[in-house]
A = this chain, B = another copy of it.
Amino acid sequence: MTTVPDKERLLAQVGFVVEIDKLKRVLRRNTLMDGSRRENDAEHSWHLGMLAMVFAEYAPADVDLARVTSMLLVHDIVEIDAGDTFIYDLTEVEVQEKAERAAADRIFGLLPEDQTVTLRALWDEFEERTTPEARFAKAIDRLAPIMANYNSEGGSWVRHGVTADQVMEKVEIIREGSPALAVYATEIVESSVVRGHLAPGRG
């Protein structure tokens, strides 16, 4: 019979897996596309993984898509401790960064040391956006709420009075990772202004 090679190691991995179950309870500002309730970070991360798969052809050539997917599955885990940040609130974003680093230390630190290093490196890579993989992953992460708001009559844009200029700043981040997806996002923004779901210019 096969035995578990290292029980202590396995139990550390199980402890991490149990801990990150909490990501299912971290709520985001946007709703599901049908508007029925707020979206949580775990189901959001699944959706991003699927977007990366479906939109893979719009990534730069030679991008390692497996690493993109891994980054997307991991990137919100720090919000178990640090909570969700509304990306249009700049004050909150600065305070948030420190809290997220502390969260990364604690949560990835539950894993065996080699895996702590690997997952932390994935999270750092996503945050730093210096590789094509990280830029494409971030583009997917920025595109998803734009698509969600477009498909739920303006969603959190309407509720929080977000303007087209503010969303276009996010579209520039999409452009760094995927010019083609930025073209599509720009069309959504223009169409949302016409529909009255996004205030034109600065609020």
Q: Which residues of A contact B (CB under 8 A)?
A: 1-5, 10, 13-14, 16-18, 20-25, 32-34, 36, 39-40, 42-43, 45-47, 49-51, 53-55, 65-66, 69-70, 73-74, 111, 115, 119, 147-148, 151, 179-180, 182-184
Contact = CB atoms under 8 A, between A and B. Distances in A.
Contacts of A50: 17, 20, 73-74
A93 to B, nearest CB: 24
Contacts of A55: 13
A70 to B, nearest CB: 6
Given A1-B183, A2-B180, A18 B151 contact: yes
B54 A16 contact: yes
A179 B65 CA distance: 29
A151 B16 CA distance: 13
Closest 7 CB pairs of A and B: A66-B66, A2-B179, A42-B43, A46-B46, A21-B33, A43-B43, A24-B43
Nearest to A118: B53
A32 to B, nearest CB: 5
Most buried by B among A42, A111, A148, A184: A42
